[in-house]
Amino acid sequence: MKDTLILAIESSCDETAASVVKNGRTILSNVISSQIALHTLYGGVVPEIASRKHIEKINQVIEQALADADVTLDDLDAIGVTYGPGLVGALLVGVAEAKAIAYAKKLPLVGVHHIEGHVSANYIEHPDLEPPFVCLVVSGGHSHLTRVNAYGDYTLLGQTVDDAAGEAFDKAARVLGLNYPGGPLLSKLAEGGDDTCLPLPHPHPDGRYDFSFSGLKTAFLNACHKMEQKGEALPRADLAASFERAVVDTLCERAMLALEESGLHTLCLAGGVSANRRLRAQMTALAAKRGFRLCMPDLWLCTDNAAMIGSAAYYRLRKGELAPLSLNAVPSLALV
């Protein structure tokens, strides 16, 4: 069978990324132009700056992705692009670019949900992985537990009722004086810290598989502010470790419940927070103890990239799910 080559574009937040993916599973190129250093100056992503930077970089990034894969636009079978959720101005840059290429080269256009992309990073990492499985998606904007019934077919089991896990990490990190994005920095600080220093609540929202991080975050912020008011030096590493433990325990507990009750034997992790060292170690230990298959993308595939979008696009293309040239960015696009 002839190979299917997809050029994928991702620009939903602060990375301008393009990738050429073969048959949904093999990365021929993966180019990421990160804006993190720029946004760090402001302590978070500035949407207007993100859009401008995407416009500046996107052609370069695509040219590089084609060159690295040693292909031209004429070799492609389709264009895949993230059209939501994300920052509208940022998304629009990728969507407009993808539509222009699809129109000019008469190629099919596939719109991809950003979170479906994160889930699909697992197909690249684990070539034999097939649905059904349970997937814990934890990123800066999402904390979802989903049952992946088939390619592109999801049942939402649970989600955060307030903050996303990554958002909670970033806010806690800020109190500890760490810059954006705080998650990885907080995790680094937590190494060697005493994770029992600060007892934190493990909230149980009504939904059986739902998460809540807002109460946990507030308890953490209050404890830090109280210490500061008393003039005490913050035991930063211990606080970071306690916070990380509380978030990871909650994620593991809910994921285990969902996996057990689903009757399935495979759990996948996806999204930026799945790069977290403690989450990966704790899940690995649980998998060994309980005998389920744990799949997680390599660290560089956990955070935003276009290869994962190319994988998701392949399975949409296979089902004939094409986007019209009127495709628009949808900042709050739902997964199911």
Q: Which residues bind to Zn ion, rule: CB under 5 A?
A: 139, 304
Cβ proximity to ligand KG4: between 57 and 144 the closer is 144
Least distance CB 275 / ligand KG4 (angstroms): 4
CA distances to 225, 269, 310 from 233, rounded to whole Å, are 11, 36, 48
Nearest alpha carbon to residue 171 among 159, 191, 186 = 186
Least distance CB 50 / ligand KG4 (angstroms): 12
CA distance 131 to 122: 11
Q: Is 187 in the site for ligand KG4 (CB under 6 A)?
A: yes
Interface mask toward ligand KG4 for 271-290; x: CB under 6 A? xxx-xx--------------
Residues 10-39 that bind ligand KG4 (CB under 6 A): 13
Give backbone dihedrals phi and psi of 6, rounded to 5 degrees, phi first: -120, 135
Give how many residues touch ligand KG4 by CB under 6 A.
20
Is-cis flag, bond preceding 205, omega within 30? no
Q: Is 297 in the site for ligand KG4 (CB under 6 A)?
A: no
Q: Is 242 in the site for ligand KG4 (CB under 6 A)?
A: no
- E strand residue ranges, the chain: 5-10, 15-22, 26-34, 78-84, 109-113, 133-138, 143-150, 153-159, 266-270, 293-295
- E strand residue ranges, 152-194: 153-159
Q: Is 116 in the site for ligand KG4 (CB under 6 A)?
A: no
Six token digits for residue 177: 């004086």
Is-cis flag, bond preceding 132, omega within 30? yes
Which of 24, 140, 152, 297 contacts ligand KG4 by CB under 6 A?
A: 140
**Residue 321 contacts residue 110 (beta carbons within 8 Å):** yes
Q: Is 139 in the site for ligand KG4 (CB under 6 A)?
A: yes
Least distance CB 314 / ligand KG4 (angstroms): 20
Least distance CB 164 / ligand KG4 (angstroms): 7
Q: Is 324 helix (H, G, I), strand (E, B) or coil?
A: coil
- For the chain, the distance separating the N- and C-terminal CA atoms, rounded to the nearest angstrom, is 32
CA distance 260 to 277: 24
DSSP one-letter code for 273: G
Cβ proximity to ligand KG4: between 5 and 17 the closer is 17
Least distance CB 149 / ligand KG4 (angstroms): 23
> Candidates 90-98, 120-128, 177-185, 325-333 — which segment interacts with ligand KG4 by CB under 6 A?
177-185
In the numeric block, the tokens 């989450």 are attached to 279
Residue 16: name its binding partner from Zn ion, ligand KG4, none (Cβ under 5 to 8 Å by kind). none
The residue number with the shortest CB distance to ligand KG4 is 272
Which of 19, 35, 303, 311 contacts ligand KG4 by CB under 6 A?
A: 303
Summarize as ranges the residues that interact with ligand KG4 (CB under 6 A).
13, 118, 139-141, 166, 169-170, 181-184, 187, 271-273, 275-276, 303-304
